Chain A
Amino acid sequence: MTKPATDTNAARADLLEKVTGRAVYASDISVPGMAHGRILRSAVPHARIARLDDAAASALDGVVSVLTGEDLPTLAHDRWGLFLNDRPVIAGEKVRYVGEPLALVVAETPEIAEAALDLIDVDYEHLPFVDDATAALAPDAPLLHERHESIADFYFKGQAKPVDGTNIFQNYGVSTGDVDAAERDAAHVFEQTYTFPGISHFAIEPHSVVAAFDGGRLTVWSGAQSPTAVQKVLSRVFGLALSDIRIIVPFVGGGFGGKASVKIEPLVVAAARKAGRPVRVALTLEESMLTCRRLGASITLRTSLDRDGKILAKRGTILLDGGAYADTGPAVAVKAAHCVIGPYDIANLEIEAKAVYTNTVPGAAFRSIGGPQAVWATESQMDEIAEAMSIDPVDLRHRNLLPRGGEILDSLRALDADIGEMLGQAGQAIASLGGGSAAGIAVAATDPGILPLGGSLVRVLADGSITVMSNSVDIGQGVRAVLRAVVAKTLNQDVGSIRVADPDTATAPFDWGTGASRSTVIMGLAVEDAAQDASDQILELAASIFDGAPNDLRLVPGGVARGEDVLSFEDLYHRAFGIDSGEVVGRAMVTPARKGSDFAKSPLFWETAVGTCDVELDEMTGELAVTRYVGVADIGHAINPAGAEGQEEGASVQGIGHALYEQLDYREGQPVNATPVAYRVPAAADVPQHAHTVLIENGDGPGPMGAKGMGEGGILPVAPAIGNALARRYGVRIRDLPMTPERIWRALRERDHDAS
């Protein structure tokens, strides 16, 4: 397939660095005098630390220092969090999950640090543990945290609602209409429970941080998706001014949410502070698997319909397994509660989402937080209902879908996509791939939790090259290419003249973070506004020189023109400033009050998705393969079409992993497969032979050129579409992910047993 030249060019500069191996990632950073840290991790799920003896480790030749819980009192704040102040910088009195950092050895080489770990003696006083969310709700369940300290509007708007004396750290409800009455009137009531496991992000670059103090000032290089969140948390923990903390983010080797908010940065900074040296900690992939994961979920839905298949009411009970520390789990619960409704017209709703602590790896944001869990339940149940009522599954959806402009909840912005039309396009596309007669289908709409707060600088330099400064992080989604394309269009400059600098909190303005499909819209608008500001300034300068009005002038590649006369930027600056140097700085900060934008209601846009697929089952082994897959997304406008398509393809294959193999598995509080060897993610052979992405572009998004955010929605419909295809073609319904060969094989045996 050929790509439009400009889009390829916008992406090309970054991709060129990556294909040549020149791209610098956080794990490639090295600074003079740097020492190396390795982490001793808890071997047990829940225990008091009775004794931790690091004397022998500290005495080892080449060891610089050992950070332990004893160092916590030296910190301005020894705990941190974004919703709940629940996480110690390093384990203090107790450990709450297998893998929790207990000690961090800093040494001259990683090998010495590793060797020193073996010399640390830990005596655990074991505590009862709970590694299952349902068990964590029991009245006599062991408590992970004795008290809850919820913090409001710290980095997320609003606050979590923990329940004292329990493991519940978030409790969120949606209630509209009268569900009881609707259930009494209903012709059919369906109740099913669906489960979704904890899932590892498995970004190929593990978490990696270098921290260096220079006097009282701190510089941190991290593969972080939210540099300003890291800056804020470090400022609290270490009692430093924000301006004394510089977070630099080079290229990031995959994020998917696993590098969002704050992860190992406070730990590494504490180690650097104690060591009095710059410290590098580069986790292995296995350690990253012990750092964060997607929240597992158990979702019970009770859906009532009239005899024509119109949904009258829905009750949803969502229980999320948040692991040992809340991280962004409270936001995951809110999103799951919204997403479980589906893009349907339902007048009566009672949805309750709880997130609980368990003695497992902390839950965290992961591509469309809470969405895949919710859509797995909702869209599987839609097909179960369709089958029970003998209605075609697509038809059942059409009977209930909201039209464009309909409201899923009246507190949320009206739906900005036509999902019925997307269903039609999905059907056509899979037919054109030669299939679809027994396809599974699923639809989804999610409200990305986007805070419209982010700024940028666009600097037009004297030689006509342009530097864009922004704290939006390139985690592989290609945000730099998008920003470059937006600036090129706004300033009418060649895309090749525009460079996007590495995110750096010392030089780029605040940006809330890279996640929730927000960068194309928020940072896109910020660079568009900044470029427009630069353009206004340049035309004003030029007007004084041409002795005319700014609106007689226009920007052309490399300079300004009036009629046929062209003045290069260099000549313009020379005549305006007296030397042939200088620059024009455009600046912009997108805020909730941005002129010309309607940011009053959330979400800024809906992320919508339809997925449809064909499957092949080996009935002897239970092995399921997706043979055709079509994803449809309404993205408003594709600023970088190849990149947008790549996001959708990547999301769908990640979704296949979630559907068929992935599960972080616990036995007796121990993670049994949290290693790259035991944990299977999709490989090239798992990709559907025939796949197609349909991007709907009506130019109706809030971002530059009418773009909406995208990149997360594609994962939403995958698992239920596969489950629905399996049920439709082979007559077995799986309600617990992943759909492993064993589960399918057992279901096949049951089917055949029931039939005989």
Chain B
Amino acid sequence: MSSIHEITLMLNGDPVEAAVAAHTLLVDFLRDSHALRGVKRSCDMQVCGACTVLVDGRPVSSCTMLAVDADGASVVTIEGLGGPDGLDPVQEAFLEHGALQCGFCTPGFILATKALLATNPSPSREEIVHHLSGNICRCTGYQKIIEAVESLAR
């Protein structure tokens, strides 16, 4: 059996202490231990971006990151955006532009967009397209996603 590790992290702004098996993937830790079902599981091989979360602000595929490696980090999932008073501007933009259909890839796209805007508040279309190349959407044809992100560029 694999060993158990104590980790501490900030999860959606709250401190969390947990004991995790060495082989536990971050996606399973978030979905199963913390009921953060907005973290979606699909390809399991870092291709589709559905399981994207922010680790210290960077977009990361949680299907290929171990939970132990999140020790000491700040992890943000879709549930950590916005708040009781309203939506995050990125969520609002996706909503307003109809930038989603089935919605399964949407949390990943929104978090990838958060990461982009944090480092580049006024991305060009080319930069947007390049930055979102790690996320696959099979429904929308991307057009409205690109429009939503463009609307946030300052």
Q: Give Cα A687 to B146, complex, Å.
A: 10
Q: Give Cα A654 to B81, complex, Å.
A: 30
Q: Tell me if B29 is interfacial: C-beta within 8 Å of chain A.
A: no
> Across the interface, which residues of B come within 8 angstroms of A25, CB to CB?
40, 104
Would A687 and B143 count as touching, CB distance under 8 A? yes
> Across the interface, which residues of B come within 8 angstroms of A649, CB to CB?
140-141, 143-144
Interface size for A (C-beta < 8 A) is 62
Q: Of B132, B137, B141, which one neighbours A652 at CB under 8 angstroms?
A: B141
Q: Give Cα A682 to B102, complex, Å.
A: 17
> Across the interface, which residues of B come within 8 angstroms of A127, CB to CB?
none
Separation in Å of the B135 CB from the closest CB of chain A?
8
Separation in Å of the B30 CB from the closest CB of chain A?
11
Residues 85-105 of B contacting A (Cβ, < 8 Å): 87, 91, 94-96, 98, 100-105
Would B43 and A286 count as touching, CB distance under 8 A? yes
Would B138 and A203 count as touching, CB distance under 8 A? yes
Question: Which of B3-11, B45-53, B65-73 is the contact stretch?
Answer: B45-53
Q: Tell me if B19 is interfacial: C-beta within 8 Å of chain A.
A: no
A-B pairs under 8 A by CB, number: 172
Would A284 and B102 count as touching, CB distance under 8 A? no
Question: Which of A42-50, A247-255, A294-302 is the contact stretch?
Answer: A247-255
Q: Of A18, A204, A478, A684, which one neighbours B129 at CB under 8 angstroms?
A: A684
Would A11 and B98 count as touching, CB distance under 8 A? yes
With A20-B38, A253-B40 in contact, do A683 and B136 touch (Cβ < 8 Å)? yes
Name which residue of chain A comes closest to B79, CB basis: A21
Would A15 and B139 count as touching, CB distance under 8 A? no
Q: Of B39, B48, B78, B141, which one neighbours A204 at CB under 8 angstroms?
A: B48
The contact size tier of chain B is 35 or more
Would A681 and B78 count as touching, CB distance under 8 A? no
> Across the interface, which residues of A come within 8 angstroms of B41, CB to CB?
27, 282
Q: Give Cα A23 to B105, complex, Å.
A: 12
Q: Tell me if A677 is interfacial: C-beta within 8 Å of chain B.
A: yes
Would B95 and A684 count as touching, CB distance under 8 A? no
Q: Tell me if A406 is interfacial: C-beta within 8 Å of chain B.
A: no
Would A681 and B95 count as touching, CB distance under 8 A? no
Would B37 and A19 count as touching, CB distance under 8 A? no
Q: Tell me if B130 is interfacial: C-beta within 8 Å of chain A.
A: yes
Q: Give Cα A30 to B143, complex, Å.
A: 34
Q: Give Cα A254 to B147, complex, Å.
A: 21
> Across the interface, which residues of A come within 8 angstroms of B44, CB to CB?
284-286
> Across the interface, which residues of B come within 8 angstroms of A650, CB to CB?
101, 138-141
Residues 675-705 of A contacting B (Cβ, < 8 Å): 675-677, 681-685, 687, 689, 691
> Across the interface, which residues of B come within 8 angstroms of A475, CB to CB?
102
Would B37 and A24 count as touching, CB distance under 8 A? yes
Q: Of B40, B81, B140, B141, which one neighbours A205 at CB under 8 angstroms?
A: B40
With A646-B144, A683-B133 in contact, do A15 and B103 touch (Cβ < 8 Å)? yes
B contact residues vs A (CB 8 Å cutoff): 23, 36-45, 47-48, 50, 77-79, 81-82, 87, 91, 94-96, 98, 100-107, 110, 125, 128-130, 132-133, 135-147
Contacts A/B (CB < 8 Å), 5 sampled: A206-B42, A676-B47, A676-B48, A683-B142, A687-B141
